[in-house]
Amino acid sequence: MNIILVSNRLSRAVTLGPRHLWLVGAFIALAILGSLTLASWATYSLTRSFGVSLPTLPGTPASQQRQIDLLAVKLGQMQAQLLRLDGLTRRVADQTGIDPKPFQSDINAPQGGAISGVPARTMSLNELMASIQDADKQIETSLDHYGLVDVILTQRKLNTFQAPANLPTSSGLRSSVFGWRIDPFNGRQTFHEGMDFIGDVGTPIYAAAGGKVLRAEYHNEYGNIVELEHGNGITSRYAHASRLLVKEGETVKTGEKIALLGSTGRSTGPHLHFEIRYKGVPQNPLFFLNVAGRGNGGSLASK
């Protein structure tokens, strides 16, 4: 079979025989094979570099580019959030003493300059994927940072909590001790689950140890009461206060003022009712206070 090519410009015919047709076909086949090989290599390279498969975007090239542009906008929003996260990292570092530099990204490096005269260009899919991977790495780094912060703060919290061994008030005068006594309201023998300290209304009440405020509220019998959790199942209660100075959920230190002495609730006069409990069971406060030897107002052993 022969193919005749006619050129109007040259006004002459060129005849291609079977041998010429074979050469042209081979050339076209090689071109197609080369294109497929190049595309396969690009996909493999992208997969190896980013650890993901090349995504397939539906639609025409124009619609695909619009999708890429939308993803680029989302990426910009993600990077803005990372900037805010870096700022928070610095503030947290100030509180914990952790060096923030190893945990911060390069996206917050100072940048600037005049607007270029060169028209802005859209991102390619490869560039977008590379930027997303960078943002993902920064998120992982930030998670590592806050995991470390959590460990440090938890350790500090454990160090803050301790046995309630300090006197809860500067007044060392005791009106009732732990154990059986005659109830002043009904004259019956009842078990007193704490220790009472006499004092003037408004006398400061201190935390016998560092801990977390479990409750700070009014109770029909305890009156205004503060209850602290000290860890390991130990809690302390401070009742009949005239005023509460802390709120539920707060963390207090040993010796911190938490309330003012009063006579609210089931009380015959101004005093502090002080309790220590282990897993909900009342304990003799003298055992804990004597362990300290000296607290805010000295040792109870000699009083």
Co-location of 146 and 181 in the same domain: no
298 falls within a domain: no
231 falls within a domain: yes
210 falls within a domain: yes
Co-location of 94 and 24 in the same domain: no
pLDDT score for 96: 65
Co-location of 140 and 194 in the same domain: no
pLDDT score for 102: 58
299 falls within a domain: no
Residue by residue, what is the 3-state secondary structure of the chain? Answer: CCEEEEECCCCEEEEECHHHHHHHHHHHHHHHHHHHHHHHHHHHHHHHHHCCCCCCCCCCHHHHHHHHHHHHHHHHHHHHHHHHHHHHHHHHHHHHCCCCHHHCCCCCCCCCCCCCCCCCCCCCHHHHHHHHHHHHHHHHHHHHHHHHHHHHHHHHHHHHECCCCCCCECCCCEEECCEEEECCCCCCEEEECCEEEECCCCCEEECCCEEEEEEEEEECCCEEEEEEEEECCEEEEEEEECEECCCCCCEECCCCEEEECECCCCCCCCEEEEEEEECCEEECHHHHHHHHCCCCCCCCCCC
Co-location of 288 and 183 in the same domain: yes
**Domain range spanning residue 7?**
3-50
CATH of the domain at 225: 2.70.70.10
Co-location of 96 and 179 in the same domain: no
9 falls within a domain: yes
Co-location of 181 and 205 in the same domain: yes
58 falls within a domain: no
Co-location of 184 and 277 in the same domain: yes
165 falls within a domain: no
Co-location of 136 and 228 in the same domain: no
Co-location of 90 and 195 in the same domain: no
297 falls within a domain: no
Low-confidence ranges of the chain (pLDDT < 50): 3-7, 9-14, 16, 21, 24, 27-28, 30-54, 107-113, 116, 291-303
Co-location of 288 and 252 in the same domain: yes
Co-location of 219 and 149 in the same domain: no
Co-location of 41 and 82 in the same domain: no
Domains held by the chain: number: 3
The residues that bridge with 5 in the sheet, in sequence order, are 14
